[in-house]
Amino acid sequence: MASLSKENHVLFLLIVGLLGWFLPGAGHLLLKEKKRALIIFATITLTFCVGLYVGSVGVIDPVGAKPWYVAQIMNSPLVAVLGHLTAGGGFPVYGRPNEIGQIYTGVAGLLNLLCIINAVYLAHLHRIELAGD
Amino acid sequence: MSAIADFVMATFTAPENIRTNPQSMLWLLPLVAAIAAAYKATKLPTITAGVFLKEVAILFGSIIAFVVITALVLYALAWLIAL
């Protein structure tokens, strides 16, 4: 019984993490942290969109800028769809717009990674509190 | 509706014209605001508008102050080396 409960707990943490990755803030929303979820969603989505606006979708480059792509894909798995679209080099971007676009989209992804870790940690704490009651 | 959708999509398929000049460093400001907001959203025990805005403003100011101080130190070093 205890083993099953532990498995459920791990599964719940996994679901929280995956939800937070699929949609920024969704992990916190699952934990009924509505304000946090809204702030995280608005901040990360806006930062990512500003990056795409400045540098175009060409800043998502899984071939020529792999380290940036790793950070960008932390925003959402949907970034992989954009990466597939731009992999052929159809959206060339150079110079300062490329730098700013990559920095914005990359930092948005890393912020989302921070939020995913925070959501999983909060889910773990909630569980411990429930077990303590 | 289709024309609006096409226009929105087009803005994301061509890069903006940003020149490499000191003014382009101002793009740092919205990014720092985003970092401060996301970080404080994860760190505050309870979120109320007043406390959240105050904490974000303090963190935003701290980061900008650190960036300015670092820039001044690097500028002074470059000036000394060039003497």
Query: What ipTM is given for this predicted complex?
Result: 0.89
Which domain, by its residues, includes A17? 8-132
Inside any domain, residue A112: yes
Report pLDDT digits (tens) over B10-41.
788 888 888 888 899 999 999 999 999 999 99
pLDDT at A1: 47
Report pLDDT digits (tens) over A66-96.
999 999 999 999 999 989 888 877 888 888 8
Tokens 């400045």 — which residue? Answer: A54
The band of A130, judged by pLDDT with boundaries at 50, 70 and 90, is confident
Q: Burial code of A81-100, b = ≥16 C-beta within 10 A, e = fewer?
A: ebbeebeeeebebeebbbbb
pLDDT at B1: 58
Q: With beta carbons under 8 A apart, name residues in chain B contacting A60.
A: none
Of A55, A58, A107, the CB nearest to B31: A107
The band of A12, judged by pLDDT with boundaries at 50, 70 and 90, is very high
Q: Per the confidence metrics, is the pTM higher than 0.95?
A: no
Q: Is the pLDDT of residue B83 over 70?
A: yes
Inside any domain, residue A101: yes
Residue B38 near residue A80, CB atoms below 8 Å = no
Residue A91 near residue A125, CB atoms below 8 Å = no
Residue A43 near residue A27, CB atoms below 8 Å = no
- The rounded distance, in Å, linking the Cα atoms of A7 and A1 is 10
> What does each C-alpha distance from A19 to A5, A49, A112 come to in angstroms?
21, 20, 11
Q: Is the pLDDT of residue A50 over 70?
A: yes
Inside any domain, residue A3: no
pLDDT at A8: 87
Inside any domain, residue A33: yes
Q: Is the pLDDT of residue B77 over 80?
A: yes
Domain chopping of chain B, boundaries: 46-83
Inside any domain, residue A2: no
- The rounded distance, in Å, linking the Cα atoms of A53 and A45 is 12
- Chain A contact residues (CB < 8 Å to B): 35-36, 39-40, 43-44, 46-47, 50, 52-58, 91, 93, 95-98, 100-101, 103-104, 107-108, 111, 114-115, 118
For chain A, the average pLDDT equals 91
pLDDT at B6: 77
The band of A4, judged by pLDDT with boundaries at 50, 70 and 90, is low
pLDDT at A133: 60
Inside any domain, residue A20: yes
